[in-house]
């Protein structure tokens, strides 16, 4: 099936607490109904919202955790073609450097939990999160990577790396 729709543009925000546990949301609505995933949401494109502004806004709205754009590190951009055979998504993935202090209350989108990185692998996750998102986080949370993913359910997931920029700590000296 070929999807002929414009991209939906969204952010995902990876947040930890002081115990190095990740905050995840058990989604009560599609997409990813019944799966654990990082918080996030769609950009308000009608007002020209940037991905950083969206990540800060969504973090505050969903968790009550107020962050500034300076507290966010953009570590990945993923163009997902035909996600769930339904839509194309342009995703911006952020690592929040400001730890969250407590578990937010449940909301209409779902309920929250804290999990160690090891525990996450045994949770019900969206398949693309399990096979792509979390490995990308593990390898690139301090750098930057741009990818495209063919998520058509009729074919095996195919991911193509388009660019990798190393973290400043791993980069060579400036010329």
- Whether 1 shows a pLDDT value over 60: the answer reads no
Query: How confident is the model over 103-131, as pLDDT tens digits?
Result: 999 999 999 999 999 999 999 998 888 98
Low-confidence winner among 7-21, 68-82, 92-106, 155-169 (lowest mean pLDDT): 155-169
Find out whether the peptide bond into 9 is cis, omega within 30 degrees of 0: no
pLDDT recorded at residue 7: 82
> pLDDT band at residue 44, thresholds of 50, 70 and 90?
very high
Burial of 148 (0-12, 13-18, 19+ CB in 10 A): middle
Task: Tell me the mean pLDDT in the region 63-71.
Answer: 97
Q: What is the mean pLDDT of residues 6-11?
A: 88
Is the separation of the CB atoms in 10 and 90 below 8 Å? yes
Domain extents in the chain:
8-165
Going by pLDDT thresholds of 50, 70 and 90, the confidence category of residue 174 is very low
Class assignment of domain 8-165?
alpha beta
pLDDT (average), residues 83-98: 86
Q: What is the CA radius of gyration of the chain?
A: 16
In this prediction the pTM is 0.88
Model confidence pLDDT, tens digit, residues 135-161: 999 999 999 999 998 887 888 888 889
Side-by-side strand order, sheet with 22-27: 36-37, 22-27, 110-115
């Amino acid at each position: 099936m070929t999807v002929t729709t414009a991209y939906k543009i969204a952010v995902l925000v990876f947040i930890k607490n002081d115990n190095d546990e990740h905050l995840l949301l058990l989604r009560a609505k599609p997409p990813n109904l019944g799966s654990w995933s990082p918080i996030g949401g769609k950009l308000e494109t009608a007002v020209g919202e940037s991905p950083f502004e969206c990540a800060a806004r969504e973090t505050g709205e969903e968790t009550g955790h107020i962050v500034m754009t300076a507290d966010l590190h953009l570590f990945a951009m993923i163009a997902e073609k035909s996600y769930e055979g339904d839509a194309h998504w342009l995703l911006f993935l952020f690592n929040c450097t400001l730890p969250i202090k407590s578990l937010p209350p449940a909301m209409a989108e779902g309920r929250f939990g804290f999990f160690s990185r090891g525990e996450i692998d045994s949770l019900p996750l969206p398949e693309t999160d399990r096979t792509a998102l979390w490995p990308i986080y593990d390898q690139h949370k301090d750098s930057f990577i741009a990818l495209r993913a063919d998520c058509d359910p009729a074919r095996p997931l195919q991911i193509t790396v388009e660019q990798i920029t190393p973290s400043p700590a791993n980069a060579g000296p400036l010329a």
